[in-house]
Amino acid sequence: MAIGTTLRTIKEAIWLGWKVETNWADPLVFAIYYLIRPIAGLLIVGFIFLIGSTVSGTVNPELFMYLFIGNSFFIYVVQVMMMMSMLIHEDRSHYEVLKHIYLTPGSLHVYIVGRALNGVMNASIALLLTLGLGVIVFQYGLGVPIQIDWFNINLGLLSLTLVLGIICFMAIGFILCAINIMTSKVQFTLNEYVTGILYLFGGVVFLPEILPQWGQYVSNALPVTYFLRLVRFSFLPQGNFDPQLNLLYLLATATATVFVGLILFKTAMFKARRDGLIDKKEEY
């Protein structure tokens, strides 16, 4: 019964998240709005690389592939963080349903996981379209070689990396939910702060080794760094790369993130119950 309730809660949370996001516009308008950000991000970064390479007089396909894969798969971070950073605000202050969800038999934790999985689903769709459009624009349109053998991708390693990465990103989302349940009016910028830090130190578009020493320490502590390294290795195997060691680092950092996320969320919910913050209204 408990398993059935959990699965039903996750399914309904995914469906609710999809309806909340799509019911405000015509499907075509929504698709354009929702997909333009990741695609535009890839095109902006790609053209900046090409312009800089033209000025320097050389185009390095390996560096372009580093940027192309990193920026594409960072979509998972952006989508999950965006979904979970706004969740508490929307359900507590906008729709005023958080107090009702909290009292239902399904756990609030499970409901949040379901809403986050809706973000994962959207990110997967955006990723496929971004990769496809990137190949069309850069390889066939601009002549930049995309050095990926699409039939020899290490799907086993890629799948395991995606699972661990998604769990970790959802754990970070629980930290954002914990912050938002205790505060107000920070949800609009909190997502940008967190994704910006991960984008800068996570090795998305440039090697962490070019950062100052303290920046490299930060990068080595972030699970997104190992997530992107393993994703890149899945597409482009490198002889001097140790996937087992990086998987171990990803597992360790993901486990630590899950532990911290759940502890912070549990602590925040305890204080929210005590101080009456679950049904708090925010007036603007």
Query: Is 167 part of a structural domain of the chain?
Result: yes
pLDDT over 90 at 221, yes or no = yes
Q: What residue has token string 């958080």?
A: 98
Torsion of CA 131, 246, 113, 11, to 10 degrees: 60
Q: Does 28 score more than 50 pLDDT?
A: yes
Asked if residue 102 is part of any domain, the answer here is: yes
Of all residues in the chain, what percent carry a pLDDT higher than 90?
Answer: 41
Query: What's the domain count of the chain?
Result: 1
Tokens 């580093």, residue located? 66
Does residue 283 belong to any structural domain of this protein? Answer: no
**Whole-number Cα distances in Å, 255 to 98, 117, 265:** 28, 19, 15
Please tell me the predicted confidence (pLDDT) of residue 1. Answer: 43
E runs forming strands in 61-127 = none
d(CA 182, CA 101): 17
Classify residue 284: in a domain, yes or no. no
What is the predicted pLDDT for the residue at 222?
94
Query: What average pLDDT does range 39-62 have in this prediction?
Result: 81
Q: Looking at the domain assignment, is residue 125 inside a domain? A: yes
Q: Is residue 31 part of a domain?
A: yes
When computed from its CA atoms, the radius of gyration of the chain, rounded to whole angstroms, is: 20
Residues 164, 250: contact at Cβ < 8 Å? yes
Question: What pTM does this model have?
Answer: 0.91
Structural domain boundaries enclosing 110: 2-275
Domain annotation covers residue 204? yes
Residue-wise pLDDT tens digits, 145-202: 888 888 889 999 999 999 999 999 999 999 999 999 988 777 778 888 899 999 999 9
Give me the amino acid identity at 25. Answer: A
Query: Is 280 domain-assigned?
Result: no
Q: Quick one: pLDDT at residue 262?
A: 93
